[in-house]
Amino acid sequence: MGTFLGYRCSVCGAEYSPEAVTYTCPVDGGNLDVILDYERIRDRTNLSDLMASTESSIWRYLPLLPVGDPGHLGTPLRAVGWTPLFSPPRLAEDLGLSYLWLKDDGRNPTASFKDRASAVVVARAQAIGAEVVVTASTGNAGAALAGMAAATGMPAVILAPRTAPQAKVAQLLIFGARVFLIDGSYDEAFDLTLEAADAFGWYCRNTGYNPFTAEGKKTASYEICEQLTNTVRAVREPPLQWEVPDAVFVSVGDGNIISGLHKGFKDLFELGWIERIPRLYGVQSHGSAAIYNAFVSGTEDIQPVEAKTLADSISVDLPRDGLRAVRAATQTGGAYIAVRDEDILGAVRELARKAAVFAEPAGAASYAGLTKALSEGLVGPMDRVVVLNTGSGLKDVNAAMKAAGEAIVIEPKLEALEKALR
Ligand SMILES: *Cc1c(COP(=O)(O)O)cnc(C)c1O
Ligand SMILES: [Zn+2]
């Protein structure tokens, strides 16, 4: 028997067996948390085994995942995750932080954090014998699903708003998915996807709807702790517990990444592999701040907004994982921070010019949030801080040009160059 016991509703607490439900709570539509058999995991696996693994992808954590090995067919899925965690000394100095790490998830196969979720969803789709996978997406979730589905030969259907950046649409098409650009918002694409999945019997990956996305995303928390341990430990023997940062910063749209990160840290805590859970900080754009609004008014009741931000990946009217996302901050002593679009563009520049990390706007928003959190005293100079970049800057070249300006065109002559240099 595996370690996947079933689901628990995040709203009413009802529990369901793995076969009883597919997506959300039938009673109230609440998001479902996957329940794992921690005792069994502890019996079968320990930190030394995990740290000795030669698998450099999310699949090194297979004993903690509710899916089986994706097998040889799924081999390209094995490039997902185990992204670098490194210290950027110039940024740390600017911010006055003694301990700062960036985790660059722009380095996934389809260049965003979403690969973690899509790889696990495709493994689940295989396990339940699904024939077609479908998702609504602002671009990245779709590109990730299209890529992972292509790797396994499973047809994928993607619904994205027609305003999605061109590079993301190109990714969808080049991976061979059936792509439909919706003349409407991401939220409208989301609702249409649910209808279509129901009507045509497709397996739906939608963020904040399919319980397996968070199970993929949680792997980033495992990596943060394991990689931090590798970075700071002096002796080479496996430790009894992993290191934990004090604070983790991540950009938030639907709220599924921050919920997944929270789940990952909770798993490790339940297993006794970390001694505490870090403070989680969710960063939203002022133009798309539904979860931030709920957090600052001290409620778990998420009111929709009319989202308008250049950070397209976090442009969401009604966050689909808002409740768990609020809790990720409240239950860990973290917070939500809202930043302006111009600060996000500034963060794109800073990350690139001082750490050589090229992030898309939504990926850099987390860094803008850290800057603000420091100015508000939410983070201290001795805190150990991890900032996640969730997407590559190559996905939205127009936004990068907005942040960086235009290049100068000159004639191929030294005088022309000299003149331009002045
Ligand atoms: C999807 C996405 C986010 C936000 O994740 P949510 O689960 O919607 O909160 C942040 N950054 C990038 C680059 C993304 O693609
Ligand atoms: Zn429920």
pLDDT tens profile 169-208 = 999 999 999 999 999 989 899 999 999 999 999 999 999 9
CB count within 10 Å of CB 398 equals 10
Please identify which residue in the block is written with the tokens 């798309």.
Answer: 288
Q: What percent of the chain has pLDDT over 90?
A: 92
Atom of ligand 1 nearest to the CA of 213: 7
- Specify if 19 maps to a domain: no
Q: What is the residue type of 152?
A: T
Q: Indicate if ligand 1 lies below 6 Å from the C-beta of 171.
A: no
- Specify if 173 maps to a domain: no
Please identify which residue in the block is written with the tokens 């331009």.
Answer: 420
Local confidence band at 73 (pLDDT 50, 70, 90 cut-offs): low
- Specify if 46 maps to a domain: no
Q: What is the phi/psi pair of residue 16, to 5°? A: -130, 145
Closest CA to 80 of 101, 102, 62: 62
CATH number of the domain that residue 345 is part of = 3.40.50.1100
- Ligand with smallest separation from the Cα of 30: 2
pLDDT of 70: 81
Provide the residue range defining the domain that includes 283.
81-109+213-404
Q: What percent of the chain has pLDDT over 70?
A: 99
Q: Indicate if ligand 1 lies below 6 Å from the C-beta of 156.
A: no
Local confidence band at 238 (pLDDT 50, 70, 90 cut-offs): confident
Local confidence band at 93 (pLDDT 50, 70, 90 cut-offs): very high
The rounded distance, in Å, linking the Cα atoms of 123 and 300 is: 32
The rounded distance, in Å, linking the Cα atoms of 243 and 275 is: 8
- Specify if 258 maps to a domain: yes
The rounded distance, in Å, linking the Cα atoms of 111 and 87 is: 20
Work out the angle at residue 346's Cα, subtended by the Cα atoms of residues 344 and 349, and round it to the nearest 5 degrees.
Answer: 115
- Specify if 307 maps to a domain: yes
- Ligand with smallest separation from the Cα of 11: 2
Atom of ligand 1 nearest to the CA of 140: 15
pLDDT of 297: 97
Closest CA to 386 of 279, 254, 253, 240: 279
CB count within 10 Å of CB 381 equals 11
User: Which of 103, 207, 251 to probe ligand 1 with, by most ligand atoms within 8 A of CB?
Assistant: 251
Mean pLDDT of 277-301: 98
- Specify if 167 maps to a domain: no
If DSSP states are collapsed to H, E and C, what string results for 8-26?
A: EECCCCCEECCCCCCCCCC
pLDDT in tens, 392-417: 999 999 999 999 999 999 999 999 99
Closest CA to 400 of 340, 352, 343: 352
- Ligand with smallest separation from the Cα of 27: 2
Distance in Å, CA 39 to ligand 1 centroid: 32
Distance in Å, CA 24 to ligand 2 centroid: 8
Lowest mean pLDDT among 66-80, 154-168, 306-320, 391-405: 66-80
Local confidence band at 239 (pLDDT 50, 70, 90 cut-offs): confident
- What does the block give as tokens for 402? 């907005």
Question: What angle, rounded to 10 degrees, do the helices at 256-270 and 322-330 form?
Answer: 50
Atom of ligand 1 nearest to the CA of 325: 9
Distances in Å between the Cα of 15 and the Cα atoms of 31, 62, 128, 217 are 12, 23, 20, 22
**Residue 354 pLDDT > 90, yes or no?**
yes
Q: Indicate if ligand 1 lies below 6 Å from the C-beta of 114.
A: yes
**Residue 97 pLDDT > 70, yes or no?**
yes
Q: Containing H/E element for 30?
A: none
Mean pLDDT of the chain: 95
- What does the block give as tokens for 414? 């030294």
- Specify if 115 maps to a domain: no
pLDDT of 279: 98
pLDDT of 181: 96
The verdict on pTM exceeding 0.85 is: yes
**Residue 77 pLDDT > 90, yes or no?**
no
pLDDT of 60: 95
Q: Indicate if ligand 1 lies below 6 Å from the C-beta of 216.
A: no
Q: Indicate if ligand 1 lies below 6 Å from the C-beta of 362.
A: yes
- Ligand with smallest separation from the Cα of 290: 1
Mean pLDDT of 106-127: 96
Mean pLDDT of 261-268: 98
Distance in Å, CA 313 to ligand 1 centroid: 5
Work out the angle at residue 174's Cα, subtended by the Cα atoms of residues 110 and 345, and round it to the nearest 5 degrees.
Answer: 50
pLDDT of 74: 59
Residues around ion ligand 2, judged by CB within 5 A, are 9, 11-12, 14, 25, 27-28, 30
In total, how many domains does the chain have?
1
- Specify if 154 maps to a domain: no
